[in-house]
Structure 1
Amino acid sequence: MPANHAELLDAVERIAREAGEAIMRVYARGFTVEVKEDDSPLTEADKAAHEVIVAGLKALPEAIPILSEEDIEAFTGPNDEGQYWLVDPLDGTKEFIKRNDEFTVNIALIEHGKPVLGVVVAPALRRTYLAARGVGAFKIDAAGERTSIRAAGRPSPGTRWRVVGSRSHAGPDLAAWLATLGEHDLVPMGSSLKFCLVAEGQADVYPRLGPTCLWDTGAAQAVVEQAGGRVETLHGEALSYATPERHLNPHFVVWGHLP
């Protein structure tokens, strides 16, 4: 990671907030919806946020390749130090279209296949999560107050698990997984906010047994890991970003405690 992690984190936070402002301008006045080749929705807000983020990252002192959901073809691969920016300009486009406010801007710095810095901005909720290796994990609330966050740890015996799940993706595999977990309460939530609830100790676990891409998870994974949690595949391996040419993630679970 570049030398001054705290300064870089602040710079990326500013870029993500600017992208959030661009999204909110579209959110306020209405928009049309396109459908991409993979049948996922695309709005003017996705494009506007992408342009803000790419311009901002390119203006930083260190030139690091950018992999954005909205311009995959422009990505040239990690640099010689194994670094690249991983960007989802608008995560939770379905939530954006539904106008339920549960959408985010995600920017992560990947280094040797691991997310070492991440910023998640939820512009409609006026909430930001950010973290970097060696710096810590933080939440900025609607009043602008920045506080350190920590995952809750393993629930006490006899305590119901607090589970957060996808608002737009559920199915029999998830139901079967939850049956093995034990007594639990399930709260639906959109976008990468599910990771962030685990990171700040408001949820214990987030199982994702449905499709996601690298850019959906990188930034929020950095927040979870720096807050003391973990993100791993169903085989117990850390979710990796070492092969960005393969965009799809395997199924994974976000835990609010270490093994």
Structure 2
Amino acid sequence: MPTIPFDEVIALAREAGDAILAVYNGSDFDVEAKADESPLTAADRASHRVIEAGIRRLTPEIPLLSEEGRDIPYAERRAWDRFWLVDPLDGTKEFIKRNGEFTVNIALIEKGRPVWGVIVAPALDAIYVGMVGDRAWVQHAGGSRKALQVRAPAPGEGHAVVKSRSHPSGELAAFLDTIQVADSVPVGSSLKFCAVAEGRATLYPRFGPTMEWDTGAGQAIVEAAGGKVVLADGSREPLRYNKESLLNPYFLVGR
């Protein structure tokens, strides 16, 4: 099996982030609505073009599934043992709000599980990388790389819970009534996974809609940092990928 040029994929994610920032830091941008009513901007498209061209150049033998190129029939996808899973701009609502909490997500999926992921937050100048079974690290603003490690609450303390800035949920409120909560950590986009991987939060319960490209890179980083991403139905089964429906079930992220 060909060696994956992961360093070059990281550089590609950063290049896509630069393409997003060119729109973000420019004049006002138009916002369109996708078929599912979620927002779409020129930055989504620019990032997708960069990643698609780069991935096809670096690993032409590995198929690509991206939010902006999602219309690949399951009859074709089901034969994929290995593929790239990409969200060119995760957190478009945060992008539109100009709060900086948007990301580029690239994951490598093998046999339905994420094995590697990179998340770049271009406006925050942060990059997170995880190789499942090896290690996870973060680099802020050009500084040195720092190892990531999830944590559990100290005995007797409640969870520091990640909450979405843009997706409140009644089911989430009901779940939080069943656990001890010490603090809330409001974060947008896939940075919610990063907050758990960094140990800033101990739990990210998701009781709202997400798609596979929203979670693949984050799951790889959390698992590489010693955490888990499991279904919220009590089965404790890991979140899996390349399903016939690309919509994720509800899930929990933590140690």
- Report the TM range for the smaller structure's normalisation: over 0.9
Indicate which of 181, 184, 208 corresponds to 1:183.
181
Partner of 1:105: 104
CA contact (8 A) 2:159 2:203 kept: yes
Partner of 1:22: 19
1:110 deviates by 0.3
CA distance in 1, matches of 2:147, 2:215: 21
1:62 deviates by 5.0
CA distance in 1, matches of 2:18, 2:34: 24
CA distance in 1, matches of 2:69, 2:119: 19
- TM-score, structure 2 normalization: 0.94
Partner of 1:49: 47
2:171 maps to 1:173: yes
CA distance in 2, matches of 1:33, 1:126: 24
- RMSD between superposed Cα atoms in Å: 1.5
1:1-259 → structure 2 map (5 Å cutoff): 4=3, 8-29=5-26, 30-74=28-72, 76-77=76-77, 82-152=81-151, 154-235=152-233, 236-243=236-243, 245-255=244-254, 257=255
1:147 deviates by 1.7
CA distance in 2, matches of 1:68, 1:61: 15
1:73 deviates by 2.1
CA distance in 1, matches of 2:9, 2:147: 18
Question: Which ranges in structure 2 are unaligned for 5 or more consecutive residues?
Answer: none
Question: Which ranges in structure 1 are unaligned for 5 or more consecutive residues?
Answer: none
CA distance in 2, matches of 1:115, 1:18: 22
CA contact (8 A) 1:9 1:130 kept: no
1:247 deviates by 1.1
Moved over 4 A (4+): 2-5
SS in 2 for 1:175: helix
CA distance in 2, matches of 1:64, 1:171: 37
Tell me the alpha carbon deviations over residues 53-105 of structure 1, each in whole angstroms, 9 at most, x when there is no partner: 0011001145111100001125742665x001100000000000000000000
In structure 2, do the counterparts of structure 1 residues 79 and 63 end up closer, same or farther at CA, with 3 Å as the change threshold?
Answer: farther
* Range with bigger deviation, 174-183 or 122-131: 174-183
CA distance in 2, matches of 1:19, 1:144: 20
CA contact (8 A) 1:9 1:132 kept: no
How many residues get paired? 250
CA distance in 2, matches of 1:59, 1:134: 27
